[in-house]
Amino acid sequence: MSNPVLNYFSEFKVLKGASRDFWLTNAIQFFDGLAYFSMVTVLSIYLTTNCGFNDVDAGKWFGIYMLFVTAFMFGVGSICDVMGIRKSYFIGFGLLALSRLGLGLAPVFVHGASLQWVVKGTLLVMSLGTAFISPVTMTSLRRFTTKATRATGFNVYYLMMNVGAIIANALIVDGFANLWGEVNAKLAILDFGFLMSLCAVGCAARLRENNYAEESERASGENDSKRPLGILLEVWKERAFQKLLLFLALTIGVRLVFTNQMLVMPKYYTRVLYTDFKLGLASSINPFIIVVGLIAIIPIINRFATVKLIILGMAISAFSLVFLALPLEWTLQVPGIHNVTQAYLFVIVAQIVVFAFGELIFMPRFTEYIASVSPPDKVSSYMALAAMPMFIAKPINGFVSGILISKFCYDGIRPKIDTGNIAFADSPEFMWVIYLILAALSPIAVIALRNFLTQQTPAAAITNEGGTP
């Protein structure tokens, strides 16, 4: 029987000749990942504790931030195709450096009603900066890998992203809290993000713009005379892209589960358990499982059709919410669980582990597929516009999460839970029932429309083979 670890890492030997530009792109992603994952873990709590937003407004402005990230991304993708990789990175990280430092300093120097307005404006600047990074990174990864090394290159990218998420949550979020306390740590994390932006700029400055690994994919140069809006309209009119969006739209329900990790979980953890709950440690379990899973499972699941993997991954991700939705009385009957704290720790860990397996199956080949089917001179545009499902899911959950948290998981609910003076319909568990129903719609819709989708979408081309397009 073959060793899955050796099989997985044997793939990496094809990257022996990868250019420094490929590794610089991964370094840029790593530095930005440290800043981004540590920031999103604490952002909703930062808005409440450091800036005075209530739960509804904190959720709303987190949602607005996510909304504008994707809204800006639609236009930014085409701008990146015209401007090129280095200039796009410089603009994106320049805006991120300014906004991250601004959020870290604003509560120190600005007070009263003015603070919230400054924070709102800075979040919009940060959303524009964030919008630049993903499309241009996907363009870089495609440009600096050959067709033979591309799948492995994207595996490295996904692996490094999750290693960064582990470090960001386990070391930075919790480590800063231990050093500076729960309140000041949020500011230190944002200031740390400013430093990571500068590191990323340093890497971007060394990129060689025209070092195409695959000469046949060298851009024709026809975009040089086009305006970004013209490229954007061309992509929207392409039938291949319209088919791709149709398929992606059905994933919106389960994408809500992904956004819960940053929008809902931080306040849920601290309110059903305790205020100094180790957010970073809890948030690092998911990427840790993904890193281990990439090593052990990817060589096996890559043998299966992509659509089957997407359905299975969505179903597992949705199912993970069942643990959180169980009535507390049922969980207390599990052997070895003797009190409410143990019951919540059990369901939280169970949900994280099951969800991580769903994400592991669902996500890895997704970005590679979109980048591979994109025309060489429109990769950033395709990657940006393919974010449409998250464009819908993020703001929806931003607004919905604030309302649901304020009703079912408000500050001070734990004493009511301890006394048993709370009905199931008013409990945090009922909030998860609502999310479970929404998440289950995605795999059900894809299964119901599977035959139609495989005939009408680009995914049809890869349903009879493994994940490689």
pLDDT interval class at 468 (50, 70, 90): very low
Rounded to an integer, the average pLDDT of 272-290 is: 82
pLDDT for res 112 = 83
Give domain status of residue 254, yes or no: yes
What's the CA gap between 373 and 241, in Å, rounded? Answer: 9
CA 245 – CA 254 distance, rounded (Å): 16
Sequence-ordered alpha helix ranges (H) in 264-409: 265-272, 279-296, 298-301, 306-319, 321-325, 328-331, 340-362, 364-373, 379-385, 388-408
Please count the other Cβ atoms lying within 10 Å of the Cβ belonging to residue 270. Answer: 18
- The answer to whether residue 218 is domain-embedded is no
- Separation CA 69–CA 262 (nearest Å): 15
pLDDT (tens digit per residue) in 400-446: 888 899 999 998 899 999 988 899 999 999 999 999 998 898 888 87
Q: Which residue has the higher pLDDT, 372 or 186?
A: 186
Mean pLDDT, the chain, integer: 81
**Residues near 51 by beta carbon (within 8 Å), at least 6 away in sequence:** 106, 107, 115, 116, 119
Report pLDDT for 217: 64
**Lowest-pLDDT range of 46-50, 58-62, 123-127, 216-220:** 216-220
- Predicted local distance difference test score (pLDDT) of residue 81: 72
Residue 293 lies in a domain: yes
pLDDT at 461: 40
At residue 63 the predicted structure's pLDDT band, cuts being 50, 70 and 90, is confident
CATH number of the structural domain spanning residue 33:
1.20.1250.20
Is residue 52 within 8 A of residue 120, CB to CB? The reply is no
pLDDT of residue 359: 84
| Residue with the larger pLDDT of the pair 378 and 62 | 62
In-domain check, residue 468: no
Q: Residue 142 — pLDDT band, cuts 50, 70, 90? A: confident
Quick one: which of 80, 74, 191 has its CA closest to 127?
74
Burial 8-27 (b: 16+ CB within 10 A, else e): beebeebbeebbebbebbbb
Q: How far apart are the first and last CA of the chain?
A: 28
Gap between the Cα atoms of 220 and 217, Å rounded: 8
Query: d(Cα 77, Cα 140) in Å, to the nearest integer?
Result: 13
Assigned domain for 221 exists: no
Burial of 381 (0-12, 13-18, 19+ CB in 10 A): buried
> Structural domain tally of the chain?
1
Of 16-25, 200-209, 295-304, the range with the highest mean pLDDT is 200-209
Tell me what pLDDT residue 34 has.
95
pLDDT number for residue 462: 36
Q: Confirm whether 15 is domain-assigned.
A: no
More confident residue, 232 or 221: 232
On whether residue 427 sits in a domain, the answer given is yes
- Give me the percent of the chain exceeding a pLDDT of 90: 37
The answer to whether the beta carbons of residues 340 and 381 sit under 8 Å apart is no
Mean pLDDT calculated for residue range 246-268: 78
For 422, the 3-state DSSP assignment is coil
Residue 230 covered by a domain: yes
Domain that holds residue 139: 20-210+226-462
pLDDT of residue 156: 80
